[in-house]
Chains A and B, each alone.
Chain A
Amino acid sequence: MRVAAPVLASVLTLVVGSVFFASLGHDPLPTLYAFFVEPLNSLNGLSEWLLKASPLILIACGLAAGFRANVWNIGAEGQFTMGAIAASGVGLFWPDPESVLLLPLMFVAGMGAGMAWAAIPAFLRARMNTNEILVTLMMTYIATLFLSYLVHGPWRDPAGFNYPQTALLPTAALFESFDPAYRLNPSIFITVVAVFVMWLFTDRSFLGYKMSVSGAAPLAARYAGFRESAAVWIGLLAGGAAAGIAGMAEAAGPLGQLSSQISPGYGFAAIIVAFIGRLNAFGIVLGGLLMSLLFLGGEGVQMTLGLPSALTRIFQGILLFFLLAADFFIFYRVRLVRPARDTHALETA
């Protein structure tokens, strides 16, 4: 049943999508084809598909580690942004722009910044029991505005015609594409490693075991003496690290610089990916590929058919809605109860 729900949700999303296309005056079948198949018809399309899936999968792996322990990090978007800022800062201002250490340093800076941004809600939750959902979400806006300040202000490229963006990163600070014709680059291996680490952590390690006990039965975790605060810290830091690395890989990969639009919403979409993947490493890979296709297809039909760009977000929303609904109907039974006004009414089964 846990596998059935995402499949059912995907099918229902397609059905509602068709109705939606029809209502916009487009023939549903060709539109769906243009949305979901055409993007993958070319080598470039496949490269873009993996390029966009990579950060989604990476972030979702980090988030799922926390979600399994009921630690709800909703602010991966902010941690992603901070990771991109810190990594770009190193790339732009490191004294030796040709150093081979530049990329590894940016990796560490991106990861560290993502973790630091996540450490604030972790500290507040562990020490003062604040709600991490609200704090992580609100800190996303701080990060976005901070980025906006940097690219409009101190870090703006003096030769950039006043565009809100930094100078291009030096070559040593970039992931070189596998093939100059396509944008896919070696940062995808980071994601491959992350998936494996995620699997090892959740399925095999004792630390992951403790986290799953904290999530499934908090009283049992307390009974066994597992620290609740440890689950909070690990859960949030794992998400922050993954998002920070993803932000670094985005800046050092396809973008090559920092701009005010660093993310098309990867941090939020990754939450959906984690849930579609049932918080499982391999499920997340599939979920990430699906979500990436939604991004690609949305861009595709926007260009070829002139459909609105909000379509991607709408599809994401519909998918999550159906997934949650399918879960609800699988795990609960709905029962209609008549109001007590009717004196003869017993409970209706």
Chain B
Amino acid sequence: MHPRLELRNICKRYPGVIANDDVSLSIQPGEIHAVLGENGAGKSTLMKIIYGAAQADSGEIFCDGNPIAAHNPATSRALGIEMVYQHFALFESVSVVENIALSASSAFDLPSLADKIRELSLRYGMPIDPHRQVHDLSVGERQRVEIVRCLLQAPKLLILDEPTSVLTPQAVVKLFETLRQLAAEGCSIVYISHKLDEVQELCDTATVLRNGKVTGTTRPKETTSLELARMMVGSKLPEMHVSPPSPSEKPVLEVNNLSVKARDHFGVDLKDVSFNVHGGEIVGLAGVSGNGQAELIALLSGERTHHNNDAIRICGAAAACLRADERRKLGLAFVPEERLGRGAVPSHTLWENAVLTAHRFGTVRKGLVDRRRASAFAAGIIDRFKVKANGAGSTAQSLSGGNLQKFIVGREIALEPKLLLVSQPTWGVDVGASAFIRQTIVDLSRAGAAVLVVSEELDELFEICDRLLVICQGRVSPPLVRKTTDREEVGLLMTGRTMSTDQMASGSGDVALQD
């Protein structure tokens, strides 16, 4: 019997890097196959080649024993290869069925398509109402829409790119059930991830990539996570040192009864948010995305201001009316979730992007940008954070997401902030660099800075945070001490349900997670 998909000796070079070097792998029908690897290991390139969005320089691809010629996404879909991207491509303002119809390559008839969607989604245990508007859906539900869109094509091979990065623990369980059912019906699944425990729980086989090469193919259920991690990282894994916190007496960041109406129909109202962050501690903000994190972080960073100046205090000074650069003067630094276009100007070089927030640190003198100093500043970050770039003169958009993230985190930490806000610190960053970034954040806090981390990854929050807050529907829970809480409690708070307190009782919760 032929494998469903077979790659033989795939090579792909980009100027300056070999993205895939002699990669071979084979996937049987009904197999759940993990592709594990650090950022920049060549996973995304390989997926693009399988899906036909990029062409290999050499090597062959076989589907059910037949070589694929003239490979592009259209031929892939004709062969039954479908892909669910990490970032969804849905139109927010129209309904589920209209979204799916828009992506259909053939003529459609909305009522019958809606019936099909209802039937398919029920069969795979992820019900969605085809007539709901996409902007009303939670992230988990949006992912279902993406998956159902693929399932409508009756795929033989489904590629999922980091599908759990936006899901609560409970939603992950549901997703895995669906994937197992699909595999049992003979659909092959390629599961891209860097989360070892998920791969061990779900996948039959794992192909591990490092620097574009296959470093091994294993059965993850029979392999320890330490072994898997070693295959990914190569050398020893860096160990985290998290010493006990020594919180300062006075809080560095105070948020008092902050309430804000959403700016548009798609936003979330913040309701009476209050919390403190002290120097020397890391506070994590957990929550399913779209529950008010974006609004809260914009208010804290100064990208949005608030009429009540006392609602936010930084180092004791009322700051809610201040602009971002005025808050930075008080000692704030901020790493936003979007790197390109917000944390960095895509078309500008790295040294120019260093000036963006480091202009008070010697890179601007007498109103003129000091290019030498700015370059030296950028080169220092590139060196210290091991940013893979062609020097300080390369543009921000030429870097991979993980490398740009390292640069931005490095830049903000180099500003020696008293208060650091970090949104998704290690999103898309490889295992080695993630550990480094987390360690740097921990060291910064132990040196006396106050740190607020917003993340959708509970593992990360549990690893580095001293206290945890949970945001759901624009309300923030009272703080939980990390050592006395657990994932289940946080997970329930994320869905708007509580174990003990009735703080969140009024929130209706994330519908996607309740069934």
Seen from chain A, the residues whose Cβ lies within 8 Å of a Cβ on chain B are 200, 204-207, 209, 212-213, 216-217, 219-220, 222-227, 340-341, 343-349
- Nearest CB of A to B101, in Å: 9
Q: Is A219 a contact partner of B338 (Cβ separation < 8 A)? A: yes
By a CB distance below 8 angstroms, the chain A residues around B416 are none
Q: Is A213 a contact partner of B73 (Cβ separation < 8 A)? A: no
By a CB distance below 8 angstroms, the chain A residues around B324 are 222-225
CA distance A345 to B107 in the complex (A): 10
Contact of B343 with A by CB under 8 A: yes
Contact of B325 with A by CB under 8 A: yes
By a CB distance below 8 angstroms, the chain A residues around B77 are 346
Q: Is B346 a contact partner of A341 (Cβ separation < 8 A)? A: no
- Residues of B342-375 contacting chain A, CB below 8 A: 342-348, 352, 355-357, 359, 364, 367-369
CA distance A206 to B355 in the complex (A): 9
Given contacts A213-B356, A343-B107, contact A225 B78 (CB under 8 A): no
Nearest-neighbor residue (CB-CB) of A213 within chain B: B345
Partner of A217, one of B75, B328, B346: B346
Contact of B205 with A by CB under 8 A: no
Contact of B336 with A by CB under 8 A: yes
Nearest-neighbor residue (CB-CB) of A349 within chain B: B72
- Nearest CB of A to B188, in Å: 22
CA distance A148 to B67 in the complex (A): 76
- Nearest CB of A to B357, in Å: 6
- Nearest CB of A to B23, in Å: 24
- Nearest CB of A to B100, in Å: 13
By a CB distance below 8 angstroms, the chain A residues around B74 are 346-349
Nearest-neighbor residue (CB-CB) of B74 within chain A: A346
By a CB distance below 8 angstroms, the chain A residues around B344 are 217, 220
Q: Is A206 a contact partner of B347 (Cβ separation < 8 A)? A: no
By a CB distance below 8 angstroms, the chain A residues around B328 are 225
Q: Is A204 a contact partner of B345 (Cβ separation < 8 A)? A: no
Please count how many residues in chain B sit with their CB below 8 Å of the partner chain's CB atoms.
39
Partner of B345, one of A220, A345, A349: A220
Q: Interface 1/0s, chain B 425-446, versus A by CB < 8 A?
A: 0000000000000000000000
Q: Can you list 28 pairs linking A and B with CB atoms under 8 Å apart?
A: A200-B368, A205-B367, A205-B368, A205-B369, A206-B359, A206-B364, A206-B369, A207-B367, A209-B352, A209-B355, A209-B369, A212-B345, A216-B347, A217-B342, A217-B345, A223-B334, A223-B336, A223-B343, A225-B323, A225-B325, A225-B326, A226-B325, A227-B323, A340-B104, A343-B106, A346-B75, A346-B78, A349-B74
Given contacts A216-B348, A225-B325, A225-B327, contact A344 B106 (CB under 8 A): yes
By a CB distance below 8 angstroms, the chain B residues around A227 are 323
- Nearest CB of B to A341, in Å: 7
- Nearest CB of B to A179, in Å: 39
Seen from chain B, the residues whose Cβ lies within 8 Å of a Cβ on chain A are 72-75, 77-78, 104-107, 301-303, 323-328, 334, 336, 338, 341-348, 352, 355-357, 359, 364, 367-369
Extra A-B contacts (13), CB below 8 Å, given A220-B342, A220-B344, A346-B75: A200-B368, A205-B368, A206-B369, A216-B346, A217-B342, A217-B346, A219-B338, A223-B356, A224-B325, A225-B302, A345-B106, A346-B74, A346-B77
- Identify the 4 closest CB pairs spanning chains A and B, nearest first: A225-B325, A225-B324, A346-B74, A217-B345
Q: Is A223 a contact partner of B301 (Cβ separation < 8 A)? A: yes
Nearest-neighbor residue (CB-CB) of B363 within chain A: A206
By a CB distance below 8 angstroms, the chain B residues around A206 are 355, 359, 364, 367-369
Q: Is A345 a contact partner of B105 (Cβ separation < 8 A)? A: yes
By a CB distance below 8 angstroms, the chain A residues around B346 are 216-217
By a CB distance below 8 angstroms, the chain A residues around B336 are 223
By a CB distance below 8 angstroms, the chain B residues around A348 are 74
Nearest-neighbor residue (CB-CB) of B355 within chain A: A209
- Nearest CB of B to A109, in Å: 28
CA distance A344 to B107 in the complex (A): 9
Given contacts A204-B369, A346-B74, contact A220 B105 (CB under 8 A): no
Q: Is B303 a contact partner of A220 (Cβ separation < 8 A)? A: no
Partner of B356, one of A207, A224, A341: A224
By a CB distance below 8 angstroms, the chain A residues around B106 are 340, 343-345
Q: Is A204 a contact partner of B368 (Cβ separation < 8 A)? A: yes
Partner of A346, one of B105, B303, B334: B105
Partner of A220, one of B73, B78, B356: B356
By a CB distance below 8 angstroms, the chain A residues around B104 are 340
CA distance A43 to B75 in the complex (A): 66
By a CB distance below 8 angstroms, the chain B residues around A222 are 303, 324
Q: Is B107 a contact partner of A340 (Cβ separation < 8 A)? A: yes
CA distance A208 to B107 in the complex (A): 52
Nearest-neighbor residue (CB-CB) of A206 within chain B: B364
CA distance A227 to B364 in the complex (A): 18
Nearest-neighbor residue (CB-CB) of B357 within chain A: A224
Chain A CB within 10 A, most for which of B104, B106, B302: B106
- Nearest CB of A to B328, in Å: 7
Q: Is B369 a contact partner of A219 (Cβ separation < 8 A)? A: no
CA distance A340 to B105 in the complex (A): 7
CA distance A345 to B75 in the complex (A): 11
- Nearest CB of A to B348, in Å: 7
Q: Is A223 a contact partner of B355 (Cβ separation < 8 A)? A: no
Q: Is A347 a contact partner of B73 (Cβ separation < 8 A)? A: yes
By a CB distance below 8 angstroms, the chain A residues around B105 are 340, 345-347
Given contacts A206-B368, A209-B352, A225-B328, contact A216 B345 (CB under 8 A): yes
CA distance A204 to B367 in the complex (A): 9
Nearest-neighbor residue (CB-CB) of B77 within chain A: A346
CA distance A340 to B101 in the complex (A): 11
CA distance A251 to B172 in the complex (A): 74
CA distance A225 to B325 in the complex (A): 4
CA distance A349 to B54 in the complex (A): 13
- Nearest CB of A to B106, in Å: 5
By a CB distance below 8 angstroms, the chain B residues around A226 are 325
Nearest-neighbor residue (CB-CB) of B329 within chain A: A225
Nearest-neighbor residue (CB-CB) of B323 within chain A: A225
By a CB distance below 8 angstroms, the chain B residues around A220 are 341-345, 356
Nearest-neighbor residue (CB-CB) of A208 within chain B: B369
CA distance A343 to B104 in the complex (A): 10
By a CB distance below 8 angstroms, the chain B residues around A349 are 72, 74
CA distance A345 to B105 in the complex (A): 7
- Nearest CB of A to B312, in Å: 15
By a CB distance below 8 angstroms, the chain A residues around B367 are 205-207
By a CB distance below 8 angstroms, the chain B residues around A200 are 368
Q: Is A217 a contact partner of B369 (Cβ separation < 8 A)? A: no
CA distance A222 to B325 in the complex (A): 9
CA distance A290 to B84 in the complex (A): 52
CA distance A349 to B75 in the complex (A): 11
- Nearest CB of B to A258, in Å: 38
By a CB distance below 8 angstroms, the chain B residues around A341 are 107
Nearest-neighbor residue (CB-CB) of B75 within chain A: A346
Nearest-neighbor residue (CB-CB) of B374 within chain A: A209
CA distance A216 to B364 in the complex (A): 20
By a CB distance below 8 angstroms, the chain A residues around B342 are 217, 219-220, 223
- Nearest CB of A to B363, in Å: 9
By a CB distance below 8 angstroms, the chain B residues around A343 are 106-107
Nearest-neighbor residue (CB-CB) of B324 within chain A: A225
- Nearest CB of A to B112, in Å: 14
CA distance A335 to B429 in the complex (A): 34
- Nearest CB of A to B359, in Å: 6
Nearest-neighbor residue (CB-CB) of B106 within chain A: A343
CA distance A336 to B68 in the complex (A): 24
CA distance A341 to B105 in the complex (A): 9
Nearest-neighbor residue (CB-CB) of B105 within chain A: A346
By a CB distance below 8 angstroms, the chain A residues around B369 are 204-206, 209
CA distance A204 to B369 in the complex (A): 6
CA distance A224 to B303 in the complex (A): 8
- Nearest CB of B to A229, in Å: 11
